[in-house]
Amino acid sequence: MATDPIQQFQIVNLFPVAKIGNTEIAFTNSAAYMVAAVAVISIFLIAGTNSRSLVPGRLQSAAELTYEFVANTIRSTAGTEGMKFFPFVFTLFTFILAVNLIGLIPYTFTVTSHIVITAVLALSVFLTVIVYGFWKNGLHFFNLFVPKGIPIYILPLIVFIEVLSFLSRPISHSVRLFANMLAGHITLKVFASFITLLGGAGIFGIVGATLPLALVVALTALELLVAFLQAYVFAILTCIYLNDAIHPGH
Amino acid sequence: MDASALARGFRLSTELVAGVLVGAAIGWLLDKWLGISPWGLIVFLLLGFAAGVLNVMRAAGVVRDPTVND
């Protein structure tokens, strides 16, 4: 058994797909888990909406619950106008949730524990906000950086700070998800390796090993919560940022 | 709820760090491009810190976010 807590994040090339210049583009274990997450979501939603009964069964109510949950999140943060972004937010939420939950299964790979994945997700939100903001509001989008009721002599300073605050969004957006998943999985692995190390140290070691074992059980429960919570936080922040594109300044 | 307090705390800390990082990155790039070292880094690190604090106060709801309609 591997006791190295970092080894679980290793990218493994499964088979080559294409070659661009001298760089080989390979289908990696990360890509395989993303495909698995998309397959799980698709099966869940297709099977859940298949029966279309008036009194929903178990699977159908789970699918409807997911829809209602995301729709309510969007309506409460970005208003009904935000519902045009429902497919985008729903995709982000379900994808991150599925990937996080699959990563909790022992011996699997956690896609969101790599910052390149979360950064691309956050940048897609950031660019959507910018493109849609300029497309819908034109130059009024810059009102976002000019808060009302600020004395004119400190306005330039405030505008600078607002612009920096805006630019920092994709960083905090991506680092939060990535760091949570990375830290959680490393902690789990470290405590789990304590069990085997202590277990090999005689009778007292086995008694002592129950302590990290109990901790790992508790941590797994916590990680389950974190997996859901971080998907939710990512979705709600996406809504808040999209709200800026829909109504910049007031 | 305890776990959402954890998420909240984590959100606040990343907001602050992100502001400082962006300020430092912009200042460093300006220094490099314009050859005004170290003034770009000094000024933008401070501005980035201010932006980080603003982010935190917005996330915590101390300052009302002008963009959130209610």
The string of pLDDT tens digits covering residues A190-229 is: 998 888 888 888 888 888 888 999 999 999 999 999 999 9
Instruction: Quote the CA–CA distance of A59 and A141 in Å, as a whole number.
Output: 42
Helix (H, G, I), strand (E, B) or coil at A219: helix
Percent of chain A's residues with pLDDT above 70: 98
- Each residue's pLDDT tens digit, A133-176: 999 888 888 888 888 778 888 888 888 898 999 999 999 999 99
Per-residue model confidence (pLDDT) at position A125:
95
- State yes or no: pLDDT of B1 exceeds 50: no
Candidates B67, B68, B69, B70: best to mutate against A (most CBs of A within 10 A) is: B67
Instruction: Quote the CA–CA distance of B30 and B46 in Å, as a whole number.
Output: 14
Candidates B10, B17, B45: best to mutate against A (most CBs of A within 10 A) is: B10
Region A39-50 average pLDDT: 92
Strands (DSSP E) found in A73-157: none
- Each residue's pLDDT tens digit, A79-137: 888 899 999 999 999 999 999 999 999 889 999 999 999 999 999 999 999 999 999 88
Do the interacting molecules here have an ipTM over 0.85?
no
Per-residue model confidence (pLDDT) at position A11:
87
- Each residue's pLDDT tens digit, B20-65: 999 999 999 999 999 888 898 999 999 999 999 998 988 887 766 5
Per-residue model confidence (pLDDT) at position B43:
92
- State yes or no: pLDDT of A47 exceeds 50: yes
- State yes or no: pLDDT of B69 exceeds 60: no
* Residue A2 resides in a domain: no
Per-residue model confidence (pLDDT) at position A26:
87
Q: Which residues of A touch B68 (CB under 8 A)?
A: 77, 240, 243
Q: Which residues of A touch B11 (CB under 8 A)?
A: 172, 176, 233
- In chain B, the residue whose alpha carbon lies closest to the alpha carbon of A174 is B14
DSSP secondary structure string, A70-136? HHHHHHHHHTGGGGGGHHHHHHHHHHHHHHHHHHHSTT---GGGSHHHHHHHHHHHHHHHHHHHHHH
Per-residue model confidence (pLDDT) at position A195:
87
User: In A, what residues contact B, Cβ < 8 A?
Assistant: 77, 79, 144, 147-148, 157, 160-162, 164-165, 167-169, 171-172, 175-176, 179-180, 222, 225-226, 229-230, 233, 240, 243-244, 247-250
Candidates B11, B14, B17, B44: best to mutate against A (most CBs of A within 10 A) is: B14
Structurally, chain A folds into a number of domains equal to 1
- Give residue limits of the domains in chain B: 11-60
**Angle subtended by helix axes A29-50 and A86-104, to nearest 10:** 120
Q: Which residues of B touch A243 (CB under 8 A)?
A: 67-69
- Each residue's pLDDT tens digit, A190-201: 998 888 888 888
- State yes or no: pLDDT of A250 exceeds 60: no
Instruction: Quote the CA–CA distance of B28 and B36 in Å, as a whole number.
Output: 10
- State yes or no: pLDDT of B67 exceeds 60: no
* Residue A171 resides in a domain: yes
**Reported confidence tier of residue A17, pLDDT bands at 50, 70, 90:** confident
Per-residue model confidence (pLDDT) at position B70:
42
- In chain A, the residue whose alpha carbon lies closest to the alpha carbon of B52 is A165
Helix (H, G, I), strand (E, B) or coil at B67: coil
- Tell which wins on pLDDT, B1 or A155: A155
Candidates A165, A166, A241: best to mutate against B (most CBs of B within 10 A) is: A165
**Reported confidence tier of residue B2, pLDDT bands at 50, 70, 90:** low
Percent of chain A's residues with pLDDT above 90: 52
Residue A71: both structure tokens together: 């729709």
User: Residue A201 sits in which domain range?
Assistant: 7-246
**Reported confidence tier of residue A9, pLDDT bands at 50, 70, 90:** confident
Q: Which residues of B touch A167 (CB under 8 A)?
A: 22, 26
User: In B, what residues contact A, Cβ < 8 A?
Assistant: 3-4, 6-7, 10-11, 14-15, 17-19, 21-23, 26, 44, 47-48, 50-52, 54-55, 58, 65-69
Q: Do B67 and A229 touch (CB under 8 A)?
A: no
Q: Do B10 and A176 touch (CB under 8 A)?
A: yes
Residue A188: both structure tokens together: 């789990």
* Residue A1 resides in a domain: no
Number of neighbouring beta carbons within 10 Å of residue A144: 20
